[in-house]
Amino acid sequence: MFALNEALVVLVRSIIAFFTLLIFARMLGKQQISQLTFFDYVLGITIGSIAASLSVDITTRAWPHWVGLATWTGAVFILQETSIRSKLGDRYLTGEPSIVIMNGQIMEKTMKKLRYTTSDLLEQLRDKGVFDLNKIGFAVLETNGQLSILLKPEYQPVTPSDLKITSSNAGLSNQLIYDGLVIEANLARAGVDRIWLEQQLRAQGINSPSEVYLAGYDANSGSLYIDKYQDNLS
Give me the residues that bind another protein (CB under 8 A), please.
Answer: 1-6, 8-9, 12-13, 16, 19-20, 23, 58-63, 66
User: CA-to-CA distance for 162 and 151, rounded, in angstroms?
Assistant: 16
The whole-angstrom separation of Cα 18 and Cα 12 is 10
Nearest distance in Å: CB 9, another protein: 5
Minimum distance between the CB of residue 29 and another protein, rounded to whole angstroms? 16
The helix/strand/coil state of 150 is strand
Q: Give the nearest distance from C-beta 19 to another protein in angstroms.
A: 6
Minimum gap (Å) between residue 203 Cβ and another protein = 42
Compare residues 63 and 131 and give the one whose CB is closer to another protein.
63
Query: Closer CB to another protein, residue 8 or residue 158?
Result: 8
> Which residues does residue 227 pair with via DSSP β-bridges, in sequence order?
214
Phi and psi torsions of 174, nearest 5°: -100, 135
Nearer to another protein by Cβ, of 22 and 84: the residue is: 22
CB of 23 to another protein, least distance (A): 6
CA-CA distance, 149 to 114, in Å (whole number)? 17
In angstroms, the first-to-last Cα distance of the chain is 65
Nearer to another protein by Cβ, of 23 and 84: the residue is 23
Angle CA 177–218–31, to nearest 5: 85
Q: The dihedral of CA 109, 110, 111, 112: what is its sign?
A: positive
β-bridge mates for residue 13, sequence order: none
Write the DSSP symbol of residue 208: -
d(CA 139, CA 151): 9
Which is closer to another protein, CB of 75 or CB of 150? 75
Q: Give the nearest distance from C-beta 65 to another protein in angstroms.
A: 9
Closer residue to another protein (CB): 59 or 105: 59
